[in-house]
Amino acid sequence: MGSDEGTARTEVASAVWGRTAPTHRRYERRSAVGTGEAVWERASRSVLRWGVKTRSGFAVPDDAAVRAGQRLDLRFRIGPVVVREPVEVVAVVRTDDRVGFAYRTLPGHPVDGEEAFVVTREGDTVWMTLRSLTRPSTTRGWALVFPLLRAAQVVVRWRYRRALR
């Protein structure tokens, strides 16, 4: 199972990510999205409607705004294979200069952990921060291929970083 219900360990509301338990692989990367109010508005709206995921090749069954407690089965196609990723949104942040959300993985997901997508602005510059905590899934089949999934994460994270540009 993923992170504790209702507790976002990726700390989406905070600019500084505190210490995390060594049980998961920690990842954080910040990328510039662009500059200006129009970029901020577009990126903010997109991240809160699953845009980072959909623009990275994932199918999201609900295009409504993310909300805490929302449970979805995300899908990712790799050739003829469709990978199911059950998730639950555990935190949403909406302030004047920070918007985003975190979800935890649910049983059946290829990895165990949490992922967060946050858009911020500092002056005129708009940034996206990706945070994740991952470890092998508790689902036996997925746990066996975790080393391959780590390689796939590199590609998916690259897609995430480009999704809002």
Considering the domain boundaries, does residue 64 fall inside one? yes
Task: Supply the range of the domain harboring residue 92.
Answer: 25-163
Considering the domain boundaries, does residue 147 fall inside one? yes
Q: What is the CATH number of the domain that holds 96?
A: 3.30.530.20
Q: How far apart are the first and last CA of the chain?
A: 33
Considering the domain boundaries, does residue 115 fall inside one? yes
Total domain count, the chain? 1
DSSP per residue, the chain: --SPTT--TT-TT-SS-----TTSEEEEEEEEEEESHHHHHHHHHHHTTTHHHHTTTEE-S--SPP-TT-EEEEEEEETTEEEEEEEEEEEEEE-SSEEEEEEEE-TTSSEEEEEEEEEEEETTEEEEEEEEEEEE-SSHHHHHTHHHHHHHHHHHHHHHHHHT-
| Per-residue model confidence as pLDDT tens digits over 81-97 | 899 999 999 999 999 99
* Tens of each residue's pLDDT in the chain, 165 residues: 343 344 569 999 999 999 998 899 999 999 999 999 999 999 999 999 999 999 999 999 977 789 999 999 999 988 898 999 999 999 999 999 999 999 999 999 999 999 999 999 999 999 999 999 999 998 878 888 888 888 888 888 898 989 988
19: which 2 tokens?
Answer: 């210490």
